[in-house]
Amino acid sequence: MPAALAPVLDLVIVLVFAATGRRNHGETGALEGVLTTAWPFLVGACVGWVIVLVARRSLLAGKALTGGVVVWLSTIVVGMLLRQLSDQGTAISFVIVSLVFNGFFMLGWRALVAFLERRRAHA
């Protein structure tokens, strides 16, 4: 998988998370509303990717799941901090749903790619 595709997948996951949440809560304002909900998490994901890229020569090198955990947790922590600073909601239930949804998909695609690469290497 091309390395440049990984950050794009993470950002798409954040946008899907925001769009799904808005739809489930009956909120309107399609693109603008999704971006309003998503921007703190998009910034958080970008911060996570910067951390991963800076730390590439350290313990994170070659460990997609480890890098994925960094991006996932940065997405949530930075995202919630920015939501709090911008007077958006950070209810505990929202934090939990954010952790679960983004963690499942951000780590899930990495686990699937690692599995497929191992399988192809052994074939």
> Which pLDDT tens digit goes with each residue over 62-72?
566 688 999 99
Return mean pLDDT, the chain.
Answer: 90
User: Positive or negative, the Cα torsion across 46, 51, 56, 59?
Assistant: negative
Q: 13: buried, middle or exposed (CB in 10 Å: 19+, 13-18, 0-12)?
A: buried
- Identify whether the C-beta of residue 102 lies closer than 8 Å to the C-beta of residue 72: yes
Counting the structural domains of the chain, the total is: 1
Determine if the pTM surpasses 0.95.
Answer: no
> Which pLDDT tens digit goes with each residue over 91-119?
999 999 999 999 999 999 999 998 999 99
Domain holding 66, by residue range, is 5-122
Measured distance CA(106)–CA(122) in Å, rounded? 25
